[in-house]
Amino acid sequence: MIEKNNTEKINDHLANERTFLAWITTSLGIMGFGFVVVKFSLFIQQITLMLNSKMSMDIEPEYSGVVGVSIVIIGSITVVLAYIKYRKVAKQIESENFTYGSYGIALMSACFLIIGLLLGWHLIDSL
């Protein structure tokens, strides 16, 4: 016997998929931002060396690489967490037993807090 799809379930699954894609877009933005942080720092160093050739080659240790790579890693973690959440919600929709979970939101908030602190630390250190 073939079961007919429930319209509410279809809409719930599509909403779950849109939410997943929004998280993927967010993670790509985070990773792109981390890439820009690293590359922009390298660009500034090269311009400084070109414009001021008398400057000593000893450049203070830059934290842009660490900050940028950390941001890219946080973006990658976002992809994994988004997929886990997507699968969990899909199973809950199918079993018609949806429960609200705030652990993912708390974890992502903590990741964004880490991004902000890393960038703030980098900016203060570069003053």
User: Does position 47 have pLDDT exceeding 80, yes or no?
Assistant: no
The whole-number pLDDT of residue 29 equals 93
Q: What is the pLDDT of residue 50?
A: 76
Q: Is the pLDDT of residue 117 over 70?
A: yes
- How far, in Å, are 6, 82, 95 from residue 1 at the CA level? 15, 34, 19
Identify the residue whose tokens are 């969990």: 88
Contact 42, 97 (CB under 8 A): no
Rounded to whole angstroms, the Cα distance separating 86 from 124 reads 38
Q: Give the rounded distance of the alpha carbon of 107 from its chain centre.
A: 12
Q: How far is CA 17 from the centre of its chain?
A: 18
Average pLDDT over residues 24-44: 85
Q: Give the distance, in angstroms, between the CA of residue 52 and the centroid of all CA atoms in the same chain.
A: 36
Its pTM stands at 0.70
Q: Can you give 28-65 as a three-state secondary structure string?
A: HHHHHHHHHHHHHHHHHHHHHHHHCCCCCCCCCCCCHH
Q: Is the pLDDT of residue 1 over 50?
A: no
Q: 3-11 long-range contacts, Cβ below 8 Å, gap at least 24?
A: 9/93, 9/94
Q: Is the pLDDT of residue 57 over 70?
A: no
Give the model's confidence band at 111: pLDDT under 50 very low, under 70 low, under 90 confident, else very high.
Answer: confident
Residue-wise pLDDT tens digits, 61-106? 567 787 788 889 988 988 998 999 899 999 998 888 877 777 777 8
